[in-house]
Chain A
């Protein structure tokens, strides 16, 4: 078998497409020499082809793993302390004095009651706010968030006006509470979710991407518990909480930058597109209502989104008036 080693190598070169013409010729004449050679070649080809799927399939918890990435980024970005050598003694004394003075100043600053910070989202379509506990908040345009300089007490409270997306650091000992102007509360331990409090205070929406959230409207203090991929809407005059347990969460599209559908019925797809782009869409073919759609649409204009929808499901797109669309035809695969 030792004698065949060179040809075993040539065969693997052939399989990987890394063989020269001269090597290929040599291989061909070796193959023609005997049926055993052909047999060996057949076996090795099978080895090569049947190992194709080698590997392990992973299905990690993406939320947890991404948080680890964020922690690593944070650690890498933290500026390192510089080592400075002060040659002269008086410089060290001066440095020590400066340190004492600034420590005293910092102590005064910290012990004095500080005003909460108010942030208005007036730049661009969203603004990232970092909270003192490391939690992150994306404030949607025209939103307003109020938070203390440091969290104190057993709960972490912030006030929201408008719409925001929260990524809350897990801290079971200190629940995180979003207070809304109409008295509604959203309470969590550590999770990712969006809150929409309309300025006229007529309704509140909560959209949960991961974790567990307690949504307690003022009139219903016992509230409802929401878990991942659920949303709840509270309508003030109806005093009723409507819970959707299989939500698409495209109300959060403004934060991630695009609509997402995974096996979503066309009816829901159309409703989400209408809400996101503020347009009217008429689905003419009623048979298509239950057809399932899976796609990632990034921050594309409405026409591009409808075009790709049309391409997938063989619709014709009509525009009877500005802001109005009709989808005609369509076949569901």
Chain B
């Protein structure tokens, strides 16, 4: 059963190389929605996500004759999408690569928002809200490590910043998210109790 999708993809890719656009449509139907989610973690703007994800397929079509995919098609498209998202951040000269103080301020302002948000939601919701309110550099670095399974060195190379900076950002993200967790837990002592049991088990 598990090998079937791979055979399917091999056939699609063969048809794609031969210039069959309906193969592109099939690949598109299968992966477009998940690529949108992948890109959204880096660039949380729906219109930009659509644009960037579509470009992945334009590129796939343009390069169809010289495609050389060693991983799964899903992994290939995902990496291509994330790279595009990162290039988008870079080319828009976003604050990502500045060391400016503005981040710290943004983080302080967002703390209030987080506090408001967590009060009625589940722990997952609270953490997701907290990720969204992380300063941009912090959020991007954390997302690449947490969701794209990239090593610190890889992230540093991709973003053109030092490993030390990456490590600082990840530490910072973990601390902010832990605060959100603790605040959420304070609301229900049962959670803390459960947490302890779970750790000691």
- Nearest CB to that of B10 among chain A residues? A298
Q: How many residues of B contact A (CB 8 A)?
A: 58
Say yes or no: is A282 at the interface (Cβ < 8 Å to chain B).
no
- Nearest CB to that of A72 among chain B residues? B58
Would you call A296 and B8 a contact (CB within 8 A)? yes
Inter-chain CA distance A231–B54, complex, in Å, is: 30
The verdict on A48 contacting B146 (CB below 8 Å), with A5-B171, A43-B182, A62-B28 known, is yes
Would you call B178 and A47 a contact (CB within 8 A)? yes
Would you call B170 and A56 a contact (CB within 8 A)? no
Would you call B175 and A8 a contact (CB within 8 A)? yes
Instruction: List B contacts of A16 (CB < 8 A).
Output: 145-146, 149, 151
Would you call B62 and A76 a contact (CB within 8 A)? yes
- Nearest CB to that of A42 among chain B residues? B199
Inter-chain CA distance A1–B24, complex, in Å, is: 52
Instruction: List A contacts of B107 (CB < 8 A).
Output: none
Say yes or no: is B81 at the interface (Cβ < 8 Å to chain A).
no
Inter-chain CA distance A44–B174, complex, in Å, is: 7
Instruction: List A contacts of B182 (CB < 8 A).
Output: 43
Stretch at the interface among B36-44, B68-76, B86-94, B95-103: B36-44
Say yes or no: is A65 at the interface (Cβ < 8 Å to chain B).
yes
Say yes or no: is A277 at the interface (Cβ < 8 Å to chain B).
no
Would you call B26 and A256 a contact (CB within 8 A)? yes
- Nearest CB to that of A51 among chain B residues? B127
Say yes or no: is B22 at the interface (Cβ < 8 Å to chain A).
yes
Would you call A54 and B127 a contact (CB within 8 A)? yes
Would you call A58 and B28 a contact (CB within 8 A)? no
Say yes or no: is A73 at the interface (Cβ < 8 Å to chain B).
yes
Inter-chain CA distance A142–B20, complex, in Å, is: 19
Would you call A47 and B174 a contact (CB within 8 A)? yes
Say yes or no: is B177 at the interface (Cβ < 8 Å to chain A).
yes
Q: Is the interface of B mostly helix, strand, loop or mixed?
A: helix
Inter-chain CA distance A39–B199, complex, in Å, is: 8
Inter-chain CA distance A38–B199, complex, in Å, is: 8
Say yes or no: is A226 at the interface (Cβ < 8 Å to chain B).
no
The verdict on A298 contacting B8 (CB below 8 Å), with A58-B33, A257-B22 known, is yes
Inter-chain CA distance A38–B195, complex, in Å, is: 11
Chain A: minimal CB distance from B89 (Å): 17
Inter-chain CA distance A1–B141, complex, in Å, is: 22
Q: Is the interface of A mostly helix, strand, loop or mixed?
A: helix
Inter-chain CA distance A298–B11, complex, in Å, is: 8
Would you call B28 and A66 a contact (CB within 8 A)? yes
Inter-chain CA distance A40–B182, complex, in Å, is: 10
Say yes or no: is B190 at the interface (Cβ < 8 Å to chain A).
no
- Nearest CB to that of A136 among chain B residues? B21
Instruction: List A contacts of B41 (CB < 8 A).
Output: 54-55
User: Which residues of A72-106 have CB atoms within 8 Å of chain B's CB atoms?
Assistant: 72-73, 76
Instruction: List B contacts of A65 (CB < 8 A).
Output: 28, 32, 50, 54
Say yes or no: is A59 at the interface (Cβ < 8 Å to chain B).
yes
Inter-chain CA distance A46–B1, complex, in Å, is: 34
Would you call A69 and B54 a contact (CB within 8 A)? yes
Instruction: List A contacts of B7 (CB < 8 A).
Output: 298
Say yes or no: is A50 at the interface (Cβ < 8 Å to chain B).
yes
Instruction: List B contacts of A62 (CB < 8 A).
Output: 28-29, 32
- Nearest CB to that of B19 among chain A residues? A128
Inter-chain CA distance A65–B58, complex, in Å, is: 12
Chain B: minimal CB distance from A50 (Å): 5
The verdict on A299 contacting B11 (CB below 8 Å), with A43-B195, A47-B181 known, is yes
Would you call A73 and B58 a contact (CB within 8 A)? yes
Would you call B50 and A50 a contact (CB within 8 A)? no
Report which B residues bind A (CB closer than 8 A): 1, 4, 7-8, 11-12, 15, 20-26, 28-29, 32-33, 36-38, 40-41, 44, 46, 49-50, 54-55, 57-58, 61-62, 123-124, 127-128, 131, 143, 145-147, 149, 151-152, 167, 170-171, 174-175, 177-178, 181-182, 195-196, 198-199
A-B contact pairs, 30 of them (CB 8 A): A9-B167, A9-B174, A13-B152, A39-B196, A39-B199, A42-B199, A43-B178, A43-B181, A44-B174, A45-B199, A46-B123, A47-B127, A47-B178, A50-B127, A51-B127, A51-B146, A54-B41, A54-B147, A55-B40, A56-B37, A58-B36, A58-B46, A65-B32, A66-B28, A66-B29, A66-B32, A69-B58, A257-B11, A308-B4, A312-B1
Top 5 A-B residue pairs of the complex, sorted by shortest distance between their CB atoms: A42-B199, A58-B36, A47-B177, A55-B37, A72-B58
